[in-house]
A and B are shown apart, each in its own frame.
Chain A
Amino acid sequence: MDLHLNAPYCMGTIVGVTYDDGVVLGADSRMTIGMLVANDSVSDKITQLTDKVYICRSGPAAVLEFVSDYVRNILDQQTIQFGQPATVKATANLVRLFSYKNTNAIQMGQMGMIVGGWDKYEGGQIFAVAQGGTILKLPYAIDGSGSSGIEGFLDRAWKEGMSKDKAEKLVVKAVSLAIASDAASGGAVRTVTINSDGVRKNCYPPDSLPLCDDKRRRTKTKKTTTTRTERRIDAPKP
C-alpha cells in the first residue's frame, strides 16, 4: 500500500555478513522518489544505533530514520543504566518490536533492515528484520530491491571464517553486482566493519567499483571449447 508516492525511498541493496572476528555491513547510496533517482551520493543507509551495533535500512526513508532515532534513544538510556553498551540481540529486538507493532501503519511500505554488530558475549552477529517484524539470526543477510539478484551469488561466495579484507571485498562485490542489475540501487558502496577493536567505515565511490555490466562480464569469461564426436544414436559405443 504505497500512498506516499512522493516520499523518498531508500530501497537499494543492503548486505550484512559475519566473518571470523566480527561483521561487515554494506549498502548502496541511491535514494529514489517514485521512479526518479533523487540522490545517488549523499545517503548513508548504515546508521549507528549503539557503539558497536549498526543498522542497514531499506525502505521508506523517513520511517527508517525515525526507527533509528527511536531505538538509539532507548539504547542510550539503557547504556547509562547498565554501564555497558547493549548487546546486538537486544538492539535487534527493539528494532523488530517497532516493526511488528507498526506493521499496519500506512507509511510503512516495504521495509527491510539488517542489524549487525559486535558484543563481548557472542561476538559478531547479524540479525535480519524482515517486513512485518520477523527477526532472524543469520550468518549473512541481504535485503532491498537489489537483493534478489545477488541471492545466489552470496550463497555461493560466503564462506565461514573469512578474513576481514575478504569479507569486505565480498560485500563490495555483492553490492556492485546488485547495482548493475537493479534500477533502484546505485551510487557509492558504503561499508562498515565492526569487530572487537572498533568500527571502521569505508566508502567506495562509483568509479572504483568493479564493473559488473554485461559487456565486461562477457569479455572476462574464459573461452572454452568442447569437442563432440558425431555418432549415430544406435551405433555401438567404443
Chain B
Amino acid sequence: MSSIGTGYDLSVTTFSPDGRVFQIEYAAKAVDNSGFAPLPSLSPPFSRFSLDPVLGTVIGIKCKDGIVMGVEKLISSKMMLAGSNRRIHAVHRHSGMAVAGLAADGRQIVARAKSEAASYERVYGEPIPVKELADRVASYVHLCTLYWWLRPFGCGIILGGYDREGPQLYMIEPSGISYRYFGAAIGKGRQAAKTEIEKLKLSEMTCREGVIEVAKIIFGVHDEAKDKAFELEMSWVCDESNRQHQKVPDELLEQAKAAAKAALEEMDAD
C-alpha cells in the first residue's frame, strides 16, 4: 500500500528521506483512479458534474500493421450529447493521443504536442518522428515537476503514431517517463486490461481484429456496479487508414461493440 509522506509531500520540489517525490506519486494516483466517481458525501456546490473531470480506462495496442487506441468514456450525465467530448485527440496527421486522468490537464498536453509537431515540420520539412514527439511531450510533462510554482500534470498519456519506422505506441506518465510499448493501459481498470492484453497475440493481429479485441477488453473492465453508463471511443492509425490517425469507421465500431457485448454475455453465462 502507499505510504503517507508526512511533511515531505507538500511540494513537488521536496524529496523525502528515502528519495521519493511524493507529489509526483500523488499525481500518478490521479491517473490510476481515472474513472472513479466523486464521493456522494460532498456538499451541494461540488455537484457530481463539476467534480467529475476524470476519464475511464484507456487502452492502446500495437498490432502488426498499426495502432489501436480505445477509451472508456464514463457518462456523468444523461444530458451529455453522445459523441461530443472527445478524449482521443489527433496530434498530427500520423499520430494521436489518448489521455487518462484530469481532462483539463490533458487538453494542455495535447495542445503542446500539436504545437511541437507543427514546429518540427516547419523547421525540418518532414512530419515529426513519433519517438521525437514522445520525447518532447515527456520533457514537457517532466518540466512541470521541477518548479514549486507549478503542479505536475495529473494525467497519463498513450501516444500512438505511424511514421517511417513503422507503427509505435508510447506511454507517458506524470513523472515524465516515456516508454515504448506493445500494449498499454491506464486508469482504474488497467490491471485487468493489462492481463487481457498480454493474452493477445499482437504481432499476428491486424488492426481490424485489434479494434474488436480492444472493445472486448474495455467492455470487460467496465464496472457495471459502480459506474453507470459509458461510451466507447476508439481510434486507429494503420495501413488501412492510409497511415493517418482517424476515428475507427462507424460500421467497424458497431461491429466491435456487438462482438464485445456478445463476449460479455458468454462470460456471464458461464
Interface of B is mostly: helix
B254 vs chain A, min Cβ distance (A): 38
- Residues of chain A having any CB pair with chain B under 8 Å: 78, 81-82, 86-87, 89-90, 92-94, 97, 121
* B78 is an interface residue with CB less than 8 A from chain A: no
Q: Which of B123, B125, B132 sits near A82, CB closer than 8 Å?
A: B132
* B167 is an interface residue with CB less than 8 A from chain A: no
Establish whether residues A81 and B132, one from each chain, have CB atoms under 8 Å apart when the complex forms. yes
Chain B residues near A78 (CB-CB < 8 A): 124
Chain B residues near A86 (CB-CB < 8 A): 124
B137 vs chain A, min Cβ distance (A): 15
Chain B residues numbered 117-168 whose CB sits less than 8 Å from any CB in chain A: 123-126, 129, 131-132, 135, 164
Chain B residues numbered 8-51 whose CB sits less than 8 Å from any CB in chain A: none
C-alpha gap A97/B164 in the complex (Å)? 24
Chain B residues numbered 73-96 whose CB sits less than 8 Å from any CB in chain A: none
Q: Which of B124, B129, B135 sits near A93, CB closer than 8 Å?
A: B124
Chain A residues near B164 (CB-CB < 8 A): 121
B126 vs chain A, min Cβ distance (A): 6
24 contacts between A and B (CB under 8 A): A78-B124, A81-B132, A81-B135, A82-B129, A82-B131, A82-B132, A86-B124, A87-B126, A89-B124, A89-B125, A89-B126, A90-B124, A90-B125, A90-B126, A92-B125, A93-B123, A93-B124, A93-B125, A93-B126, A94-B123, A94-B124, A94-B125, A97-B123, A121-B164
Closest to A93 in B: B125
C-alpha gap A81/B136 in the complex (Å)? 11
Closest to A120 in B: B164
